Structure 1
Amino acid sequence: MLIAQITDLHVKIPGKLAYGRVDTARFMADCIESLLALKAIPDVILATGDLVDFGDPEEYRHLRTFLDRLPMPIYLVPGNHDGRDTLRAAFPDHGYLPESGFLQWVVDDYPVRLIGLDTLVPGESRGELCAERLAWLEATLSASDRPTLIAMHHPPFETGIGHMDRIGLTGADAFAGLLARFPHVCRVVCGHLHRPITTLIGRAVVSTCSSPAHQVTLDLNPDAESCFTLEPPGFELHRWTGGGFLSHRAAIGAFPGPFPFFDPSGVLID
């Protein structure tokens, strides 16, 4: 099974730029082209939050013009820039989304069980796993011991990027306790950081993902200012091997190559 993860799309209405500088819709179009150009087509897409910039219905309509080009199932979780009700209304054909309440879901249709968690706190940049959301997760994990991947927006660990850690996840310790109790959770994939970062919590590899648009500046000074760069955009490919996941970062865009290492006779090209 091959899973593509995209995150922090921040799609705006046509003609608008994020922070007056970033054409997130153009970057999203490039992301779709790169996904469609993959030689190994993903079985599913996980979009781990901040799908649009302000949670507006028109933004979600614009987002759908891109996502509807993809031939595989797409599973969505909200980020702090999303709106629960407007997201739900924009994707009425996504039957895995609950009709009310938190946008949390479980899909059992694949070799790996997929769980989506809702860490959104309306009006705030931080995320939260409250008692109700954690209880739902505990019950869901208790219902099956199949290998499981959890998708969520806010990462459940400190990254060392101070301004982002200050808008991190409330409830991370309780979440880590659940991972310790349920070792069949083998992978947790997150967004929010606009960077690829990987750590281990219990037996689960936990990671964040590049954005297809702007990236958070890599600055491990705890007092660093909140800022972004236009480093090369990307997404993640997570392949289930039967015993675990192997992940690749994929760059978005068109680049020279591929070029052969050897000539047709098998001689190394100098």
Structure 2
Amino acid sequence: MLVAQISDIHARPDLSSLQTLERAIGWLRTFRPDVLVITGDLVDDGWRQGYRLVAESLRSLDCPVHLLPGNGDDAQLMRSELAAVGTWINATGPMHFRTAVNSLTLLGVDVTVADQSYGDVLPHLPWLMNSLADVTAPSLLFMHQPPFSIGIGVLDQVGCSNGSALLSTLEAMDRLPLAILCGHVHRPAFGRLGIIPAQTCGSLCPPNPLLLEGRADLSVIDAPSFLVHEVSDGRLVSHVVSVPVPDSGA
């Protein structure tokens, strides 16, 4: 079972991130994952045409696509322009999703807070608890903002609040998710929430610098990237896939 995850496209009129998305989608068309999940921040500044262009690109895939909003998304525009691509539990309100693909349950929790960069999972724990109550197969939990510290102060300040309450809710379930898979920080990072593996996906826009422990703000050498998750026999292995940036002089 192969689950692709793309995050933080941040499409804008200069088309640079959309071109990166096209290269990623072209790779995925050949790779043929079983499902694609996009974990938020598709478009900058409510750019309606950007949502339409993202939808057009995603429709070229043969696999199901599921989407969460990020703090930079316009939820109403995203719903209307990507209605033919993604499906959500509710027609209004939080854009959660739940689906099963090849005996793997995928749950997306919309933890965004209106007009804020941080997220908060606390209001959505009743929905999550109810959605997990009958899940006995392996599951993956998707969010935009990560509920664990990645060690970069400016980004941890705008992570997902109430991670400890999320952990308590998950520990009360019969089976823990294989991982919590997020976006938002524009670089891949790998940690844990309790004993649950937790990861952030790289971005298709320029990655953020690695500002760990007061180190200098060095030039970013990372390429845009996304993740491919392989689930087999109830185990998860995640792979970073880099998207080369074309030579501007070509």
- TM value normalised by structure 1: 0.83
Match of 2:57 among 59, 66, 79: 66
Aligned to 2:107, the other structure's residue is in SS state strand
Match of 2:76 among 61, 81, 85: 85
Separation (CA, whole Å) in 2 of partners of 1:219 and 1:254? 23
> Residues 62-95 of structure 1: CA distance to partner in whole angstroms, max 9, x if unpaired?
2112212212111101111112211111122334
Residues 36-61 of structure 1, C-alpha deviation per residue, up to 9 Å, x if partnerless?
243xx200001011111123322211
Report the alpha carbon displacement of residue 200 of structure 1 after superposing the two structures with TM: 2.1
Segments ≥4 residues shifted beyond 6 Å: none
Q: CA RMSD in A?
A: 2.2
Equivalent-residue separation in structure 1 for 2:88 and 2:99 (angstroms)? 7
Larger Rg, first or second structure (1 or 2): 1
Give 1:213's match in structure 2, choosing from 200, 205, 222: 205
Q: In the comparison of the two structures, how many residue pairs are matched?
A: 244
Alignment of 1:152 with 2:162, yes or no, is no
1:252 maps to what in 2?
243
Residue 130 of structure 1 aligns with an amino acid whose one-letter code is L
Aligned counterpart, 2:22: 29
In 2, Cα distance between the equivalents of 1:79 and 1:189?
13
Aligned to 1:76, the other structure's residue is in SS state: strand
Structure 2 matches for 1:190-205, cutoff 5 A?
Answer: 190-205=182-197
Which runs of 5 or more structure 2 residues have no equivalent in the other structure? none
| Map of 1:117 onto structure 2 | 109
| Secondary structure of 1:144 counterpart | coil
Q: Does 1:57 align with 2:36?
A: no
Work out the CA distance in 1 between the residues paired with 2:245 and 2:184: 25
CA distance in 1, matches of 2:231, 2:145: 23
The percent identity for this pair of structures is 31
CA distance in structure 2 between the aligned counterparts of 1:115 and 1:87, rounded to whole angstroms: 19
**Could you tell me how far apart the structure 2 residues matched to 1:230 and 1:62 are?**
28
Maintained 8 Å contact 1:214/1:230: no
Q: Aligned equivalents of 2:195 and 2:103: distance in 1?
A: 19
In structure 1, the partner of 2:154 is 163
Give the TM-score normalised by structure 2.
Answer: 0.89
Q: Distance in 2 between matches of 1:138 and 1:129?
A: 12
Cα distance change on mapping 1:222 and 1:175 into 2, 3 Å? farther
Aligned AA for 1:140? S
**CA distance in 1: counterparts of 2:219 and 2:23, whole angstroms:** 19
SS in 2 for 1:25: helix
What corresponds to 2:166 in structure 1?
Answer: 175
Amino acid at match of 1:112: L
Closer/same/farther in 2, CA of residues 48 and 91 from structure 1, 3 Å limit: same
